[in-house]
A and B are shown apart, each in its own frame.
Chain A
Amino acid sequence: MAPNQKEALGQPAALEANVKSAGLGQLVVSNDPAETLIAYGLGSCVGVIAYDPTAKVGGLLHAVLPQHRNGDANLAKYVDTGIPLLLKEMAKLGARKANCLLYVVGGAEMLQVAGLANGFNIGSKNVQMARAVAEREGLRLKEVDVGGNSGRTVKLEMQTGRVTVRTLGRGERTL
């Protein structure tokens, strides 16, 4: 899905000033201290946040599947191709990989029914892939909030680099 589709879809982000949201298979980057980057309702998807506190450049990837499939032009849909793309887009705004702090959020298992679970451990595969790519890229994995059976909304405040995770019934916490 093209990044420019989100305006057309009338995402709530469009209504909220200074919020950039990443939908399924999208990534957003920013160097504007007034902005907040958000991925709403991550289930088995993972949100990968990178933040360079020196340059005050941040990015958020909302990846769906662990591994890229041949022929798919949307690299942001996959963890393994999405993270390098995220770093590349952030570099354009002046971020340096060596400074970046990485956060991985999401990767829950949403279905807990015996017999239905086959092929549904995508959540943990997404998280594993994010860890592997972080190591390969030599990134500092600052914090993770992954697994479990609940959806999460993750936010990055550009001004402070503060990352918060909201879960239904458990409120919001700062990573």
Chain B
Amino acid sequence: MQETSTFAGVQLNSILERMAVLAAEQAAHGLSTMLGRPIRLTVPRLSLVPLCEVPYRVGGPETEAVGIYLQVQGDLPGHVMLILPYQDAFRLVDLLFEAQEGATMQLGPLERSALGEVGNVTASLFLNAIADATGLSLRPSPPAVVMDMVGAIIDIIVIASGAVADEILLLEVEFHGPDRTLEIYFWMVPAQSIADADIH
């Protein structure tokens, strides 16, 4: 990460990193409560990625993936998208269901719903942490789960941001279960108005 990087005018190396730590703690608490056993979340890295480069970070634009999308309304409107290549989505479902690694081979309604809920809990708690730190109101929509090619999933956030965001915020989130760790990419895209918002 570059020292000079900013996201929506915020220095990445200061406020956002603190928020990410806070958010990870909150999200871990929420997930652990939901699952009835301890799950720990860490955010080892935050970085800004050019939008056109996003598909290549997730295996290429034709990679089959699951996207979990939430729209954020309130003082800081924007979009949150979790993108998981199929294999990672399977592993996350295994982790959530306490199944053996490799047990999940396809994503039915139950698996999709579980993934949607993880996206929901993680994103909501992340947003709560930002809201707490800034005093701004942030209201996430229910999650939408999309399964398709990465390129097509990316289109959702490209369009949602009015194709104005050149860079989006990437959070590399690690889910630590009792016996395994999973790394998941978590993307945040500002609506145009975020860039104008005054964050202190």
Q: Is A41 an interface residue (CB 8 A)?
A: yes
Residue among B52, B53, B141, B142 with the highest chain A CB neighbour number at 10 A: B52
Rounded to whole angstroms, the CA-CA distance of A113 and B140 in the bound complex is 14
Q: Is B110 an interface residue (CB 8 A)?
A: no
Q: Count the A-B residue pairs with Cβ separation under 8 angstroms: how many?
A: 103
Contact in complex: A116, B141 (CB < 8 Å): yes
Contact in complex: B149, A122 (CB < 8 Å): no
Instruction: For residue B155, give the distance in angstroms from its CB to the closest CB of chain A.
Output: 3
Interface of A, secondary structure class, is: loop
Rounded to whole angstroms, the CA-CA distance of A132 and B62 in the bound complex is 29
Contact in complex: A151, B52 (CB < 8 Å): no
Known contacts A41-B151, A110-B148, A168-B149; is-contact A116 B61 (Cβ 8 Å) = no
Cβ contact of A45, chosen from B60, B62, B64, B155, cutoff 8 A: B155
Contacts of A110 in B (CB 8 A): 146, 148, 152-153, 155-156
Contact in complex: A41, B61 (CB < 8 Å): yes
Q: Is B128 an interface residue (CB 8 A)?
A: no
Q: Which bucket holds chain A's interface residue count?
A: 20 to 34
Contacts of B153 in A (CB 8 A): 41, 43, 110, 151
Contact in complex: B60, A24 (CB < 8 Å): no
Instruction: For residue A157, give the distance in angstroms from its CB to the closest CB of chain B.
Output: 17
* B110-168 residues at the A interface, CB under 8 angstroms: 141-142, 144, 146-156, 158-160, 163
Instruction: For residue B35, give the distance in angstroms from its CB to the closest CB of chain A.
Output: 24
Instruction: For residue B188, give the distance in angstroms from its CB to the closest CB of chain A.
Output: 17
Contacts of A108 in B (CB 8 A): 152
Contacts of A11 in B (CB 8 A): 56, 60
Rounded to whole angstroms, the CA-CA distance of A168 and B158 in the bound complex is 21
Q: Mark B25-53, 1 if CB is under 8 A from A, else 0.
A: 00000000000000000000000001111
Q: Is B175 an interface residue (CB 8 A)?
A: no
Known contacts A11-B56, A64-B163; is-contact A113 B142 (Cβ 8 Å) = yes
Cβ contact of B69, chosen from A44, A111, A166, cutoff 8 A: A111
Rounded to whole angstroms, the CA-CA distance of A111 and B144 in the bound complex is 7
Contact in complex: A151, B56 (CB < 8 Å): no
Known contacts A12-B60, A24-B158; is-contact A41 B152 (Cβ 8 Å) = yes
Contacts of A166 in B (CB 8 A): 62
Known contacts A65-B163, A110-B146; is-contact A40 B151 (Cβ 8 Å) = yes
Q: Is B55 an interface residue (CB 8 A)?
A: yes
Rounded to whole angstroms, the CA-CA distance of A120 and B62 in the bound complex is 22
Contact in complex: B51, A43 (CB < 8 Å): no
Q: Is A112 an interface residue (CB 8 A)?
A: yes
Rounded to whole angstroms, the CA-CA distance of A25 and B158 in the bound complex is 11
Contact in complex: B62, A40 (CB < 8 Å): yes
Q: Is A152 an interface residue (CB 8 A)?
A: yes
Contact in complex: B159, A122 (CB < 8 Å): yes
Rounded to whole angstroms, the CA-CA distance of A19 and B152 in the bound complex is 20
A-B contact pairs, 26 of them (CB 8 A): A5-B52, A11-B56, A11-B60, A23-B61, A24-B52, A40-B60, A41-B153, A41-B154, A42-B151, A43-B148, A43-B151, A44-B155, A45-B155, A65-B163, A77-B163, A110-B148, A110-B155, A111-B144, A113-B144, A115-B141, A115-B142, A122-B159, A151-B153, A151-B155, A152-B152, A153-B149
Q: Which 3 A-B pairs have the closest CB atoms?
A: A41-B151, A151-B152, A43-B155
